[in-house]
């Protein structure tokens, strides 16, 4: 699972992110460090408590301004993600594997979104269906309405990837 975080990191550099760090398991970091010079890495070794401390301290000490989670994720990182998301209030982009960690626990994402209004989820149609239980329509008006309904219910911005991509934010009352 090296390709997805690598592409995400390179994309962030290309659009002008000042400092990009990929935090992952030692196995992934070992492979990444052989391929890139421009991206910083952070090894998340040890048990969940150690990983949480390492990542929390890094986010705080380095004044991380945005967290992108999910590229190259596997099930081992789900618990760490849920803990970290409850602790931080910076903008967060949830993609791929990060979305799947909420497929059976959408209420957890809703609780996190109540405290942090800066969450963006970027599901493709399959991830959207797993997350919300709604099969995205191919018809534009219905696709927009489905995305808007999900955004309002979860209270996060949704970028429903596909043709066309739909971007909706929750209605603020």
Q: pLDDT (tens digit, 9 = 90+) per residue, 31-45?
A: 999 888 889 999 999
**What span, in angstroms and rounded, lies between the C-alpha atoms of 126 and 134?**
9
- Mean pLDDT (whole number) for 46-66: 96
How confident is the model at residue 105, as a pLDDT?
Answer: 85
Q: Which helix (H) or strand (E) holds 69?
A: strand 67-69
Pairing of strands 21-24, 40-43: parallel
Residue-wise pLDDT for 116-134, tens only, equals 999 999 999 999 999 999 9
pLDDT band at 173 (very low <50, low <70, confident <90, very high): low
Is the pLDDT higher at 79 or at 146?
146
**What span, in angstroms and rounded, lies between the C-alpha atoms of 122 and 112?**
16
For the chain, give the mean pLDDT.
Answer: 92
**What one-character-per-residue DSSP string does 78-127 give?**
HHHHHHHHHH--S-EEE-THHHHTTTT-HHHHHHHHHH-S-EEE---HHH
Residue-wise pLDDT for 59-70, tens only, equals 999 999 999 999
Cα three-residue angle 161-167-170, rounded to 5 degrees: 130
The full set of domains in the chain, from first to last, is 3-121 (3.40.1190.20)
**What span, in angstroms and rounded, lies between the C-alpha atoms of 39 and 76?**
23
Q: What is the pTM of this model?
A: 0.91
How confident is the model at residue 171, as a pLDDT?
Answer: 80
Q: Are 122 and 94 in contact (CB under 8 A)?
A: yes
Cα three-residue angle 15-163-161, rounded to 5 degrees: 50
- Mean pLDDT (whole number) for 163-168: 93
- Mean pLDDT (whole number) for 81-107: 91
How confident is the model at residue 137, as a pLDDT?
Answer: 93
Q: Please return the burial class of 23, using the count of CB atoms within 10 Å of its CB with bins 0-12, 13-18 and 19+.
A: buried
């Amino acid at each position: 699972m090296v390709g997805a975080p690598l592409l995400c990191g390179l994309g962030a550099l290309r659009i002008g992110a000042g400092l990009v760090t990929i935090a992952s398991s030692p196995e992934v970091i070992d492979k990444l460090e052989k391929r890139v010079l421009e991206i910083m890495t952070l090894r998340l070794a040890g048990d969940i408590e150690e990983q949480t401390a390492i990542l929390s301290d890094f986010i705080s000490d380095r004044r991380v301004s945005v967290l992108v989670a999910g590229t190259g994720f596997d099930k081992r990182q789900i618990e760490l993600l849920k803990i970290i998301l409850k602790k931080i209030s910076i903008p967060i982009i949830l993609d791929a594997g990060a979305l799947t960690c909420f497929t059976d626990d959408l209420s957890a994402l809703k609780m996190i979104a109540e405290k942090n209004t800066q969450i963006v989820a970027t599901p493709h149609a399959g991830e959207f269906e797993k997350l919300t239980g709604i099969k995205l329509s191919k018809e534009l008006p219905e696709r927009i309405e489905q995305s808007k309904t999900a955004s309002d219910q979860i209270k996060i911005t949704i970028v429903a990837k596909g043709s066309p991509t739909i971007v909706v934010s929750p209605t603020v009352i």
